[in-house]
Amino acid sequence: MRQAKVERKTRETEIAVELNLDGSGSYDIETGIGFLDHMLEQLSRHGLIDLTVRVQGDLHIDGHHTTEDTGLAIGQALRQALGDNRGIVRYGQALIPMDETLARVALDISGRPYLIWRVDFSRPKLGEMDTELFREWFQAFAQAAGITLHVDVLYGENDHHKIEASYKALARALRQAVAIDPRQAEAVPSTKGVLGGTL
C-alpha cells in the first residue's frame, strides 16, 4: 500500500494529511473553507485516493495561507507515497465535461515541478473562497508533488463548473499516472533510471 502521513505547522497554518494512493476514494476533509473541502473531495473520489485532511489556518486574515499550505501538504504526501516512482505509468491525462464546460489536465510525475494554468473566472469568489486562490493551490500542489501539470479549461461559462471539472480532471489524470504498469512494475519509467529532480 502506497501511503503517507504529513504534518505541517507554521505560524499561519497547522495541517495533517493522510493519503493512500491505492484506496477506494474515501475522504474526511476539514480545511475551514467549504468550497476547498468540496474540491478535495472530488480529488479523492475520482482519483480513488483515500484522503484525510485537517487544517487549522489563519482564516481571520483570509484563505490564502490555508489554501496554499493545503496544496503543499497534499503534494508532499503524494510524493512520499510514490517513493522512487518504481512501476508507475508516470503520465496521465483527462478531458472532463461538466455541463457547458470542458476541462483538460495533462501531467507528468517527472520530479520537475511546473504549472501551466489556463483557467479564467468571471467572478471573484465561489462560496467564501477567492477564485484567484485556485491557481495558488494547483501551483503549491505541483511544486510539492514534483509534477509537471497543465490545467486548461477549453470553454465554459459557469465558474463552479470550471474549477470542479479541473479538479475532477486532475483526479482522473493522477489515477492514470500513479497506476502500476504491469509491463514494467519493477522499473522506474525513465531512460535515466531515476525520477525526482534529475534533469
Reported confidence tier of residue 198, pLDDT bands at 50, 70, 90: very low
Reported confidence tier of residue 190, pLDDT bands at 50, 70, 90: low
Q: Is the pLDDT of residue 187 over 70?
A: no
Distance CA 162, CA 184 (A): 36
CA end-to-end span of the chain, whole Å? 29
Mean pLDDT of the chain: 94
Q: Is the pLDDT of residue 191 over 80?
A: no
Q: List Cα–Cα distances, 158 to 24, 98, 130, 161, 189, in angstroms.
A: 29, 10, 15, 5, 38
Q: What is the mean pLDDT of residues 37-66?
A: 97
103-162: pLDDT as tens digits: 999 999 999 999 999 999 999 999 999 999 999 999 999 999 999 999 999 999 999 999
Q: Is the pLDDT of residue 196 over 70?
A: no
Residue 199: per-residue pLDDT: 35
Phi, psi of 32 (to 5 degrees): 90, -10
Q: What is the mean pLDDT of residues 176-182?
A: 94
Say if residues 125 and 62 touch (Cβ distance below 8 Å): no
Residue 192: per-residue pLDDT: 62
Q: Is the pLDDT of residue 72 over 70?
A: yes
- Between CA 63 and CA 49, with CA 28 as vertex, the angle to 5 degrees is 100
Closest by CA to 67, choosing from 132, 127, 116, 118, is 132
Say if residues 22 and 16 touch (Cβ distance below 8 Å): no
Beta strands in 67-147 (DSSP E): 91-98, 101-108, 114-118, 125-126, 129-130
Q: Which domains occur in the chain, in start order?
A: 3-178 (3.30.230.40)
Residue 72, all three cell numbers: 503543499
Contacts of 59 (CB under 8 A, 6+ apart): 32, 33, 66
Reported confidence tier of residue 188, pLDDT bands at 50, 70, 90: confident
Closest by CA to 52, choosing from 18, 99, 84, 102, is 18
Sheet holding 148-155, edge to edge: 91-98, 101-108, 148-155, 114-118
Q: What is the CA radius of gyration of the chain?
A: 16
